Homo-oligomer: A and B are copies of this chain.
Amino acid sequence: MQNSNHENFWESMPPLLPSVSIDCTILGFHDNQLKILLLRFKNTNSFALPGGFIDLNEDLQESAQRILKERTGLDNIYLEQFYVFGDKNRRDDKLQKKLMAASGLLLEDDHFLLKRFISIGYFALVDFTKTIPTPDFLSDSCEWYDIDKVPELIFDHNEMVKKALNHLRLGLDEKLIGFNLLPETFTMNELQSVYETILGEKIVRSNFQRKILGLDILQRIEKKMTGAANKAPYLYRFIGK
């Protein structure tokens, strides 16, 4: 959505569903760290979750898929609604105006962006190695941050992250199968790291292995190719993926 003609920017947007936005908690896993994708608004130090609006001719789910694709380059991401944020004072009009102005977009007081919005929280688990983070029109960076080093975010976005993580922790086994957080094949150590990071606690190796193999969701394939073949760990993949 690059457009160098600021005055025509809003006019060039398709007709949107009023009052409703989407904000996405996009999580990936890399270097034994759970990471989250954040935008920084142009010429500011203000951070936000990637988000967007609903074109009138899109189903809600299509809008979420489109927004995810615009920021990550990924098609067909499995994503889930987890909560609707609807407090009447959840947004700060002054901050909103300031952030837009920093991109050269001056909002009149009756601009639709200054009206009340509810925001539908989606979250997605993506394969870190396949994403191509891409800033939107209002931001100059779109980058991964360690989940335990999330900066202060605008509006209620920190609360969104917190609620998304809580949602993820419920039914983690099923979600890890359905989602694309890990590459197609992975070691037992890598899988354990994912669990430990998301749950925020260490798990005893033998307990973890017994539990996870007991779920009958993993298929063991060949050993990982490394220099030291005899110490190479087995690779696994989720059955049915």
Contacts and interface: CB of A to CB of B under 8 A. Distances in A.
B81 A61 contact: no
A79 interface: no
Q: Size range of the interface on A?
A: 20 to 34
Interface string A2-21: 00000000000000011110
Contacts of A81: 83-84
A88 B118 contact: no
A81 B83 CA distance: 7
B60 A87 contact: yes
Given A19-B18, A20-B19, A118-B17, A86 B57 contact: no
Contacts of A170: 171
A97 interface: no
Nearest to A54: B86
A159 interface: no
The dominant DSSP class at the A interface is mixed
A58 interface: yes
A63 to B, nearest CB: 8
Interface in A55-113: 56-61, 63, 81, 83-88
Given A81-B83, A83-B81, A88 B56 contact: yes
Contacts of A60: 84-87, 118
A116 interface: yes
Interface string A114-132: 0010101000000000000
Given A17-B19, A18-B18, 12 more contacts: A17-B116, A19-B20, A20-B20, A54-B118, A56-B88, A58-B88, A60-B84, A60-B85, A60-B86, A60-B118, A81-B83, A86-B120
Interface of A: 17-20, 54, 56-61, 63, 81, 83-88, 116, 118, 120, 170-171
